[in-house]
Amino acid sequence: MRTKAPGAHLPEHPDFLWRNPEPKRSYDVVIVGGGGHGLATAHYLAKNHGITKVAVLEKGWLAGGNMARNTTLIRSNYLWDESARIYEHSLKLWENLEDDLGYPILFSQRGVLNLAHSLQDVRDGVRRVEANKLNGIDAQWVEPDEIKKLCSIVNISSDIRYPVLGATYQPRAGIAKHDYVAWGFARRADQAGIDIIQGCEVTGFVTDGDRVTGVRTSRGDIAAGQVALCAAGHTAVLTDMLGIRVPVQSHPLQALVSELLEPVHPTIVMSNAIHVYVSQAHKGELVMGAGIDSYNGYGQRGAFHIIERQMAAAVELFPVFARAHLLRTWGGIVDVTPDASPIVGRTPYRNVYLNCGWGTGGFKATPGVGWCLADTIARDEIHPYTAPFSLDRFITGALVDEHGAAAVAH
């Protein structure tokens, strides 16, 4: 495991959070959404392409949406080549991100176990391991006794509801501190001269034929050369303003943390079959996530029976957690596409780019998609890593059905 000691190098609260400049009258690029993806795109526009006349517009506060409501899991062990390519690109950026940003993000490569509870889970897991190896991604199949060595608190008994028959294991997977990640990207963008404008809600767009010439906001109209839509969970609200139909649905996604505990959980454990995953944060709280709620909505809370059922399964897999006390729960809002893969690329407007539909995979993709979207904007040419995730795949039928392949899209 590669990590820094908890509490080492903790940053001061960034002062740029409070400056909040007034919007200028025009920008070369306007990014809608001040979360991880929007901030990463801004950073790489400046760093890789020297484009700094950029505004990042955030309706609320910096990284206060899904970036503040995720479970920080980072991995690249996806089945399909298209998914593996973008997530592995992202993981490689994560491995050097702290040096790139000059800011601590507490990235800890502690590995991830994806448990198998049935013979079909085993077949799917072995298949994914072999596909990962073909793509140059670190992956192993481990038997129950090896799981016990990697994570001694997992219950591998054969007489439970979800017997553990084995697991896939990616050693390079890990976690990072989500607010530090956002602050690191924002700090570098701010230093480059990019404006990060909070409390700035987009209310409409000014169009001229097949181009968007301006963005209407609660703080005035802004002329824009190019526009990138990176507002997780609310994509359809923006695309409706432009008359674009996008095949995404918004769903609540729940998670929780326990009280602070002594270090007891050395890795990340996911159970695809029951959609629960558990890690332990640097301060000591257990971080537990669930699958998405089935109903649509923008409310940042979910149904109690969803989290209750999945936490009951978590306690069965980890009996040692049975007496842990709940500290807080929360819900995010995720965009989900029919094939549970993202949409990144062009829209019917020549100068508007779309980045949405990441479902539960958005955090781990943060540096990778920021890099690729910045490259697309700067060169006006789709990056090869995001080309398979174009909007027109829903017309051609070239879907990237990771959900159907891996049973879960976290």
pLDDT-derived band at 329 (thresholds 50, 70, 90) equals: confident
Backbone angles phi, psi at 405, to 5 degrees: -80, -40
Average pLDDT, the chain: 91
Identify the CA nearest to 74 among candidates 105, 43, 32: 105
CA distances from 164 to 136, 142, 143, 227, 336 (A): 27, 11, 9, 47, 29
pLDDT at residue 406 is higher than 50: no
The reported pLDDT for the residue numbered 407 is 40
Domains 17-71+178-247+338-406 and 108-172+249-336 share a fold: no
pLDDT at residue 14 is higher than 90: no
pLDDT-derived band at 300 (thresholds 50, 70, 90) equals: confident
- What CA–CA distance (Å, rounded) separates 149 from 113? 12
pLDDT at residue 248 is higher than 60: yes
Counting Cα atoms < 13 Å in the Cβ hemisphere of 56 gives 39
Quote the DSSP letter at residue 156: -
pLDDT at residue 405 is higher than 60: no
Q: Tens digit of pLDDT for each residue in 177-229?
A: 999 999 999 999 999 999 999 999 999 999 999 999 999 999 999 999 999 99
SS3 category, 151: coil
Percentage with pLDDT > 90 across the chain? 75
What is the mean pLDDT of the segment spanning 166-183? 96
Q: Hey, what are 17's tokens?
A: 């959070």
pLDDT at residue 77 is higher than 50: yes
CB 185 within 8 A of CB 67: no
pLDDT at residue 49 is higher than 80: yes
Least confident of 142-156, 196-210, 311-325: 311-325
- What CA–CA distance (Å, rounded) separates 86 from 78? 10
Identify the CA nearest to 128 among candidates 158, 160, 161, 87: 87
Q: Which CATH class is domain 17-71+178-247+338-406?
A: alpha beta
What is the mean pLDDT of the segment spanning 247-258? 90
CB 269 within 8 A of CB 278: yes
Q: How far from each other are the two terminal CA atoms of the chain, in whole angstroms?
A: 21
Q: Which fold has domain 108-172+249-336?
A: D-Amino Acid Oxidase; Chain A, domain 2 (3.30.9)
What is the mean pLDDT of the segment spanning 134-142? 97
CB 172 within 8 A of CB 112: no
Q: For the chain, how are helix, strand and coil distributed in percent, rounded to 5?
A: 30, 25, 45
- What CA–CA distance (Å, rounded) separates 326 from 338? 34
Highest average pLDDT, of 144-158, 267-281, 394-408, comes from 144-158
CA distances from 409 to 63, 124, 272, 277, 292 (A): 22, 14, 9, 12, 10
- What CA–CA distance (Å, rounded) separates 207 from 347? 13
Longest dimension (CA), the chain: 66
Beta strands in 242-386 (DSSP E): 249-260, 268-271, 276-280, 285-292, 326-336, 343-346, 352-356
CB 354 within 8 A of CB 239: yes
- What CA–CA distance (Å, rounded) separates 403 from 399? 11
Identify the CA nearest to 45 among candidates 64, 30, 24, 65: 30
Identify the CA nearest to 284 among candidates 308, 256, 263: 263
What is the mean pLDDT of the segment spanning 97-104? 96
Domain ranges in the chain?
A: 17-71+178-247+338-406, 108-172+249-336
SS3 category, 191: helix
| Predicted TM-score of the model (pTM) | 0.94
Q: Tens digit of pLDDT for each residue in 353-398?
A: 999 999 989 999 999 999 999 999 999 999 999 999 999 999 999 9
Single-letter code of the amino acid located at 121: D
Single-letter code of the amino acid located at 365: A
